[in-house]
Structure 1
């Protein structure tokens, strides 16, 4: 069959070049850029994140624009149970103290406690989970430790600590971290056992790569989405735990307003004065719902399987 000369013009001989043969391809792919790109596609999650950030920022603004200083709340029983008005924007409590200052200062305290506990649980849980799942000699020890701690309800630990050690912000934060790392560590351990004996990790061990480098470089990147989800869920869980403990009288010192303490104080009066319950309950609900939904959305965005 005859070959058309026009077909020959579409081909040309490429000469061999040693320099070009050694060149490598380049991709402008960035993991975190892809994560944020995927997250921004979820409009509802972005809107909820904006709501949460606005709530945190406004908690500081509210104390500045408020008429009464939260650090010097004057007790005046004659002003007790004043309904919200132009002077007391959220009304007053049973002791006549400005409720606006209490609610927004309590919001700051609860969110700060939740963030500290979430970060502490993340660091401790991820560290223990990596060692638990990768180092076979430590598996028995951490398994028994997990079983001993997990088989006793956390509320019992927190009750004993509150009664025997004391009630303060630091004590509660340390206590919640000390008994809250279990869920994170268990999830990380199970995932590490899946990735531990894959070919690239076996090759790294054969080449003499240190254990810490294998954990940080080869395994930890696969766990980012799970870690983000656990941290996001830890924040509303901590606020719920603090609320429960304060409602039972086992939370922070009564001189440190928190959302839990306000809810506890309102339980005796909310039928006649519902505003005492509504304001802190709404804030607890907003924080819990926003973090749960935003955490799920960000976890999905961080999953490499969802990246193109």
Structure 2
């Protein structure tokens, strides 16, 4: 068989049937984890809320009705009550799900793009490894939330800038994880075979190394979503993210803290929303980590 024919067959460490079997096995392991299933249900419900917000919301989340201010939960027409401006809390929670998930997804996506790229280059090209890892160590020297606050102070307060700040904070962790996987994968015989057959580095990265590093990347992305959403809420709470009257969960908590004794639902409801979505992504991430572990069968 010619070298060109071998290249066209895309040499892989596993056959297609083995990969399909691995995916099925991973899914079965995941659904056996009750906490992970609960997390998936919560995430699915939050996605439905975010996508169908205009239909599910009962009121305009920005419309003020001072005559109905600080209504308690289960009031007529406002089953989660209203805030101090008479805005419906249920509607603001629903639209807040859209904001939190969007910012979290953007932050994780940007972080993965930077982290995966640096990790691939650092793990594959040893002459660049030292330089890239020292830059990563420099980012690690700053506490994550302080680094995000510094970036926002430079860029300005907005949800887009929050996503950029959180993504920069995510890059060093992602780069370290990907680099470790690349160092292991690039020593495999099929990678050496592709090099000897004249495959370009880009082809080896995209077709062979990256697909075999996806398991830790998927786990990292899932758990990082929880961190991104929590960080977005924290920065908005501090006034560095969403600005009034944007219905963002962290900003809602900041607004409600002055009414904790008279209208505690203004703080409790968005706090529960944050808690549930962060819990969901964390337990799903834990479930994926266990399900994607190749030694899982041996540990059982």
TM-score, scaled to structure 2: 0.84
Question: 1:154-175, CA deviations, whole angstroms, 9 ceiling, x for partnerless residues?
Answer: 3333323333432222222222
Structure 1 residues 67, 51: CA separation in 2 closer, same or farther (over 3 Å shift)? closer
Q: How far apart are residue 298 of structure 1 and its match? A: 2.0
Residues 1-308 of structure 1 mapped to structure 2, 5 A cutoff = 28-29=17-18, 30=20, 31-61=22-52, 63-70=54-61, 73-84=62-73, 85-306=75-296
> 1:247-291 CA distances to partner (integer Å, 9 max, x unpaired)?
211112223221111111122212332111121111111111111
Return closer, same or farther for 1:150/1:209 CA change in 2, 3 Å cut-off. same
Structure 1 residue 241: Cα displacement? 0.8
Structure 1 portions without partners, runs of 5+:
1-25
Distance 1:62 1:219 in 2: 40
Instruction: Decide whether aligned partners of structure 1 residues 211 and 66 sit closer, same or farther in structure 2, where only a CA change above 3 A counts.
Output: closer
How far apart, CA to CA, are the structure 1 residues paired with 2:171 and 2:98?
A: 23
Unaligned runs of 5+ in 2: 1-14
Following superposition, the deviation at residue 63 of structure 1 comes to: 4.3
Normalised by the length of structure 1, the TM-score is 0.82
Deviations for 1:215-254, whole angstroms, at most 9, x for unmatched residues?
Answer: 2343323322211110011111011111211121111222
Larger Rg: 1
Superposed CA RMSD: 2.4
Instruction: Give the distance between the partners of 1:213 and 1:60, measured in 2 at CA.
Output: 37
Match of 1:74, SS?
coil
CA pair 74-214 structure 1, distance change in 2 beyond 3 A = closer
1:13 counterpart residue number: none
